[in-house]
Amino acid sequence: MNPAAEVKTLVIDEMDVSARADQTILEAARDAGAWIPTLCHLDGVGDIGACRMCLVEVKGSNRLLPACVTRVEEGMAVTTHSERLVKYRRMILELLFAERNHVCAVCVANGACELQTLAQLHGLDHVQFPYRFPALPVDGSHERFSMDHNRCVLCTRCVRVCGEVEGAHTWDLMGRGVHSRVITDLSQPWGTSETCTSCGKCVQVCPTGALFEKNKVGTKLPKSRDFLMHLSVMRGGDR
């Protein structure tokens, strides 16, 4: 049977929910009005299950499962917010804040940052881990955009939108572990990139102030977030 036509019933947070067989837990939860926090997920590009913010508990599974890539199954019982899950999500956010140099007060994305919003929603008023204060550069060589590695959370939305939607694949990751960094072409100044089309999609999808438009600094709307909605349409899906 066509998985899009097949319907599964499951329970999300004690609420009976029906979903198409090809939907993920995240999609089914959103349709049902249940909120699951996400960071690396972006409607319209492939999911990678990397940020671990959307981990949920599924009855019968001893592992926590990422809602963004786990398909619904008949009779599944999902818990999206337990004490344990919330504790882990807070710790993930704390790890991110301690990893690089996130100073909201002086950030272009202050008030329009997904990391900041998630932190507020999780009542994060301090970070227990020691800050690592890495010395990271800012690349302002592009005529319209800038990249501040201090604010990057390595969600790779920019990499995916550039490769999958724009088709330029200007961005990728270099190095590994704590030394990973997003790069343009051969890790060269963005302004010298031969492949960048200056379409700006990477800037708009960046959840933080790592990628920003130079002329939007200091404005109330540093990012055009409504642009996100069109992405999935461009990708041929309307859901």
Partner 1 sequence: MSVHAAQPPLPSDDKRWRIVNGTMRRHGHARQALIETLHTVQELFGYLDEEALKFVAASLRVPLSQAYGVATFYHFFSLKPPAQHECHVCMGTACYIKGAAQLLARAEEVLGVKPGETTPNGTASLLAERCMGSCSLAPVTIFDGEVAREASAKQVQERLERWLAHDA
Partner 2 sequence: MTLEELERIAAGTKNARAAGGHEVNVCLAAGCLSQHSDALKEALEKEARKASASCRVRGTGCMGLCSAGPLVSVEPGGVLYRNVKPEDAPAIVRSAGGEPLRRLQCSRDQAFFQRQVHIVTENSGKLDPEKIEEYIAADGYKGMIRALTEMTPAAVVQEISRSGLRGRGGAGYPTGLKWGTVAKTDSAVKYVVCNADEGDPGAFMDRSVLESDPQRVLEGMIIAGYAVGASRGYLYVRAEYPLALKRLETAIGEARQLGLLGINICGTAFSFDIEVRIGGGAYVCGEETALIASIEGKRGTPRPRPPYPAQSGIWGMPTLINNVETFASVPAIVRRGAEWYAALGTPKSKGTKVFALSGKVKNNGLIEVPMGMTLREIIFEIGGGVPEGRKFKAVQTGGPSGGCIPEQFLDRPVDYESLRELGSIMGSGGMVVMDDTSCMVNVARFFMEFCMAESCGKCIPCRAGTAQMHEMLTRICDGRATHKDLEMLISLCDMVGATSLCGLGQAAPNPVLSTLRYFQDEYLEHIEAKRCRAGVCECGAAAEVRA
Question: What's the token pair of residue 119?
Answer: 């932190």
Which of the choices partner 1, partner 2, none does residue 186 contact, using the CB cut-off of 5 to 8 A by kind?
partner 1
Nearest 5°: CA angle at 104, between 102 and 110? 130
Which of the choices partner 1, partner 2, none does residue 224 contact, using the CB cut-off of 5 to 8 A by kind?
none
Q: Looking at 169, 214, 225, 230, which residue binds partner 1 (CB under 8 A)?
A: 169
| Integer Cα distance of 22 and 72 in angstroms | 7
Q: Are strands 77-79 and 55-58 parallel, antiparallel or unpaired?
A: antiparallel
Q: Tell me the sheet residues that pair with 55.
A: 66
Q: Could you give the string, one character per residue 119-158, with x where binding to partner 1 holds by CB under 8 A and - elsewhere?
A: ----------------------------------------
Amino acid at 166: E
Evaluated on CA atoms 56, 58, 62, 63, the torsion sign reads negative
| Integer Cα distance of 125 and 152 in angstroms | 20
Q: Looking at 18, 117, 120, 187, which residue binds partner 1 (CB under 8 A)?
A: 187
Instruction: Catalog residues that contact partner 2 under the rule CB under 8 A.
Output: 48-52, 55, 63-64, 66, 69-70, 84, 87-88, 91-92, 95-96, 98-99, 128-130, 132, 153-154, 173, 175-180
Does 170 bind partner 1 (CB under 8 A)? Our answer is yes
- What residue ranges bind partner 1 (CB under 8 A)? 163, 168-176, 183-187, 194-195
